Structure 1
Amino acid sequence: MEHTMYTSPALVRQWAEEKHNVRGRQKLEGMVFSQEPPVAGKPATTIRIPWNHLDAEWRYDEASGRYLRWSDGAPHTDALTGEQLSAANVVVLYVPQWNTDIVEDPHSGALSIQFALWYSNRAIIFRDGVQIDAFWQRWEREDMLTLTDEDGNPIPLKIGNTFFEVVPVDEHKIEIEIEPENES
């Protein structure tokens, strides 16, 4: 994918001051973090997200307290370090999407996809080997993403990196399979 946008910090600063009245320290609200494991939730040691041409999978590693990423049954590794990708949190966001009129590939006619990552929808948070049903909110495009329970209370993520899996809300072929830690 080609990226052809160029700018300079001075131009970005000028644009921000003109368009958004940005001066001084910004109010950053959004995600909440805690090292304490959640008291609510269901055990979730494996998360599978089947896609058309590639299946993503996350497996909880109790020793490290992190989810390890797999792609089509093989460890998904960083090309630079060779280490398997891992995350303290995996968050699945259900997001409306639609095709745009932007042609990504002139040979196949493939169109670009617009994901509407604003307003609100369902989410699932995975941390500490537990699945927590949630909602994401982002009422304006400039807002920070927040994750809450059904009553609007923030759900804390584990301190560390977070991997967001964005999946369409209205495609039933996309499923997330969860294997409980202790199957009965």
Structure 2
Amino acid sequence: MRRLSARRRTRTRVRTGAAVAIALAALASGCTIDPSGADGKPPSGAGGGGTVLAVKIDNVRPARPHTGLDAADLVYVEQVEAGLSRLMAVYASRLPPAIGPVRSARETDIELLRQFDRPVLAFSGAQSKLLPLIDDAPVRAVPPGKAPRDAYYRGGGKPAPHNLFLRPDALKVSPRAGALESAGIRFGPKPAGGTPETRRTVRFPAARFTFDWVEYEGRWRITMDGERARTSGGKELSASTVVVQYAKVRPSRFHDRSGNVSPFTETVGEGKARVLREGRAYDARWKRTTAEDGTEFTTADGKPLPFAKGQVWVVYAKA
């Protein structure tokens, strides 16, 4: 597993501490939907680079069907305000023509993305007090106000705010598939053991996800809130591996415009997980020592637990 040098970790702690102090000192409240980028600085994510592209994607009913989600290598499912869900799609091997709908970032995303090396983060905006933390995080943040003019557009036949889409090519990102290893993603043969399982449902307070194993297709079919998940082009969404990762979900110090407190999912630490692949379920343990480390997934006897090749979904369920 990749680890940072002591010097780099020290710099990261110093920068993060300064950003926390700034955020706590801020007096403004509410949510900034679209950072203006009025400081005149060049787009932080433009001009190339970036080991992966991470896009924050809306996931309420009016936002579906999604565009470009089937091209992601890795999809994280997070709980947000009012018990709803939001997705973080990570692209490491290929970029589709368009991705969306794009929505705002959360504090959970900052910690989650530290396991990648300077990822590019595309999002619509963030709560005003959270913006300093995002600016100081080791990510290349490219909301609309800091991205090239043609990177974002409104469309898709959806009502605002569920109609913001991204043209990833405009960001000039150069993702590489090997970057997934830094997050603990390992592919390999099916391990021994496990138990037969063809359906698993994960429930949030106001959202639910069901994964059904389709033997003749060799994939887990995805259902969201009781509806079959499809792309805007009509393609069914599916996963080769599903990880139900049980983690602590607690209130953060941030909230949305309506005053609903944003949940914070603790992705650093350790706990239980349930890994689904090829029609079987494996009881597993996950461990992530620091925010700069990837997440290790191991079987009950402590051996590394590889995933099936293809798209991976990680659903953060409340421990």
Mark yes or no: TM-score above 0.5.
Answer: yes
Using the alignment, how far apart are the partners of 1:41 and 1:68 within structure 2? 20
TM-aligned CA distance change 1:154 to 1:112, over 3 Å: same
**Amino acid of the residue matched to residue 32 of structure 1?**
R
Percent identity, aligned pairs only?
23
Offset, 1:143: 0.7
> Any residues of structure 2 matched to 1:1-184 within 5 Å, and which?
2=33, 4=35, 7-8=44-45, 28=181, 30-34=184-188, 36-78=189-231, 80-104=232-256, 106-107=257-258, 109-169=259-319
Using the alignment, how far apart are the partners of 2:269 and 2:304 within structure 1? 16
TM-aligned CA distance change 1:111 to 1:73, over 3 Å: same
TM-aligned CA distance change 1:8 to 1:37, over 3 Å: closer
Using the alignment, how far apart are the partners of 1:67 and 1:59 within structure 2? 5
Using the alignment, how far apart are the partners of 2:45 and 2:196 within structure 1? 47
Equivalences, count: 156
Q: Contact 2:194 / 2:280 at 8 angstroms: preserved in 1?
A: yes
Using the alignment, how far apart are the partners of 2:191 and 2:302 within structure 1? 16
Question: SS in structure 2 opposite 1:155?
Answer: coil
Runs of 4+ off more than 3 Å: 1-6
Q: Relative CO higher for 1 or 2, CA cutoff 8 Å, sep ≥ 6?
A: 1
What TM-score, normalized by structure 2, do the two folds share?
Answer: 0.44
What TM-score, normalized by structure 1, do the two folds share?
Answer: 0.74
* More strand, by proportion: 1
The alignment's C-alpha RMSD in Å is 2.8
Using the alignment, how far apart are the partners of 1:48 and 1:122 within structure 2? 16
Give the unaligned 5+ runs of structure 1: 21-25, 170-184
